[in-house]
């Protein structure tokens, strides 16, 4: 039942994605849609950067709708996005995230490969207590903080499309939210269309 619903959501998203892509070719990108997927890890954020990554057999797919809010001096763009995430494997739940991002735009090699990095802060609501968080920390909550760290590359010759990698993080901010001291981290890759 849930797999059937997920297939329908993905197919609908793909149809809308390519319909919008066909209708809009403007250089002024106000909105974006993206899809990314990956797998949860058993690592802390620190361990993801400095140690080997241990995957937790909990895969996910995220559908995103976002809006570019404003840009400061062609240096930093502020964005907002909403996400619907589905997990399967070691955990089987939906997750809904809202996040504000700050994206650093200029890099010296942008005329070869347009690159940006983003950091996002927001909230996350899981429909069930995520099993990976329970196993790793013993205590979790449906409602937690959300962080995103993203590296984005515009596809050469297709300025409306970009490929990205993202760290997808939920946590209780050292116990500030519902007494939760841990959380979860997932690594994902995806494609984005700006219009």
pLDDT tens sequence across 31-65: 999 999 999 999 888 888 888 899 999 999 999 99
| The pLDDT of residue 16 | 47
pLDDT tens sequence across 175-187: 999 999 989 999 9
Q: How far is CA 16 from the centre of its chain?
A: 19
pLDDT tens sequence across 101-131: 999 999 999 999 999 999 999 999 999 999 9
Domain ranges of the chain: 2-194
Q: Is 76 exposed, middle or buried (0-12, 13-18, 19+ CB in 10 A)?
A: middle
| The pLDDT of residue 1 | 47
Q: Which fold has domain 2-194?
A: Porin (2.40.160)
With a cut of 90, say whether residue 166 has pLDDT above it. Answer: yes
Report yes or no: 140 and 160 within 8 Å, Cβ to Cβ.
no
| The pLDDT of residue 28 | 65
* b/e burial code for range 17-56 (CB count within 10 A of at least 16 → b): beeebeeeeeeeeeebbbbbebbbbbbbeeebeeeeeebb
For residues 50 and 186, give the distance between their C-alpha atoms in angstroms, rounded to a whole number: 15
With a cut of 50, say whether residue 152 has pLDDT above it. Answer: yes
With a cut of 90, say whether residue 149 has pLDDT above it. Answer: yes
> 131 is written with which tokens?
């099993």
Of the ranges 16-25, 97-106, 107-116, 143-152, which one carries the lowest mean pLDDT score? 16-25
- Write down the pTM of the prediction: 0.83
């Amino acid at each position: 039942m849930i797999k059937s619903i997920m297939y329908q959501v993905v197919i609908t998203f793909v149809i809308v994605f390519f319909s919008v892509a066909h209708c809009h070719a403007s250089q002024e990108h106000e909105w974006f849609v993206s899809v990314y997927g990956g797998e949860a890890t058993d690592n802390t954020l620190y361990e993801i950067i400095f140690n080997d990554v241990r995957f937790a057999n909990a895969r996910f797919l995220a559908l995103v709708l976002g809006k570019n809010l404003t840009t400061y001096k062609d240096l930093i763009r502020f964005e907002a996005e909403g996400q619907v995430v589905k997990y399967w494997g070691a955990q089987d739940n939906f997750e809904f995230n809202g996040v504000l991002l700050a994206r650093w735009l200029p890099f010296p090699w942008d005329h070869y490969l347009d690159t940006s990095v983003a950091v996002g802060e927001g909230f996350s609501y899981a429909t069930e207590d995520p099993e990976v968080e329970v196993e790793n920390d013993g205590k979790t909550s449906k409602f937690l903080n959300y962080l995103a760290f993203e590296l984005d590359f515009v596809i050469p010759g297709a300025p409306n499309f970009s490929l990205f990698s993202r760290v997808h993080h939920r946590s209780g901010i050292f116990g500030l939210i519902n007494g939760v001291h841990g959380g979860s981290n997932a690594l994902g890759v995806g494609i984005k269309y700006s219009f």
